[in-house]
Amino acid sequence: MGRVLVLGGARSGKSGYSEELIAGQANSPDKVRYIATAPRRVNDREWDERIAAHRARRAPQWHTVETADVAAELRRDRDAPTLVDDLGTWLTAQIDARQAWDSGPTALDDVLDDLVSAVCLYEGPLVLVTPEVGMGIVPPTHSGRMFRDLIGVLNGRLAEKCEKVVVVIAGIPLPLK
């Protein structure tokens, strides 16, 4: 299987598809590593419900790592069947950590390079879940446009390095590469 990039819009089914894909690559369910990138939010019931739904779908034997340092985690164990869900929340955390919402996309060049490098060095089955936001409306704010542009650049760079690229629309996976 190698490296697989799974793109899709909100509620497209990309996470569920990715979970099935990585489960099929593990010799045993307890060998799957799930890297969850969503940061905790205070007083956000809807967000908590989204996270709970993701947790409920995961096999209980999977090893879950909640981190915003995806590159370091990928380098820690480079051959375990791994699912990263998702790069949109990871990117948001990176922008927040650098307080870069107003500074522009070049403030993230090093962190994008680091992630792409870690993905390239990964030796085991790897599924990366990421939002496809470039098909929607142009965001009315600078920060929204910056996020859209950065995730688009990151998705393109990762698609180039992954052996397989799939877009999920309305729950239907469509192979692109």
Beta-strand pair 172-175/164-169: antiparallel
Average pLDDT estimate for 154-177: 97
For residue range 101-141, what is the model confidence (pLDDT) as tens digits? 888 778 899 999 999 999 999 999 999 999 999 887 889 99
pLDDT at residue 172, as a whole number = 97
Report how many domains make up the chain.
Answer: 1
pLDDT at residue 137, as a whole number = 84
Extract the tokens encoding 86.
């998702």
Q: Which of 122, 154, 133, 126 is nearest to 18 (CA)?
A: 126
The CA distance from 90 to 161, in Å, is 19
pLDDT at residue 55, as a whole number = 77
For residue range 46-98, what is the model confidence (pLDDT) as tens digits? 877 877 777 788 888 899 999 999 999 999 998 999 999 999 999 999 999 99
Range of the domain at 88: 3-175
pLDDT exceeds 80 at position 39 = no
Beta-strand pair 63-66/82-85: unpaired
C-beta of residue 110 within 8 angstroms of C-beta of residue 60:
no
| Binding-site positions for GTP | 8-15, 36-38, 55-58, 66, 85
| Binding-site positions | 8-15, 36-38, 55-58, 66, 85
Strand ordering across the sheet containing 126-131: 63-66, 33-36, 82-85, 126-131, 3-8, 164-169, 172-175
What is the value of pTM for the model shown? 0.92
Average pLDDT estimate for 3-23: 94
Average pLDDT estimate for 140-159: 94
List active site positions.
Answer: 54
CATH code, 69 = 3.40.50.300
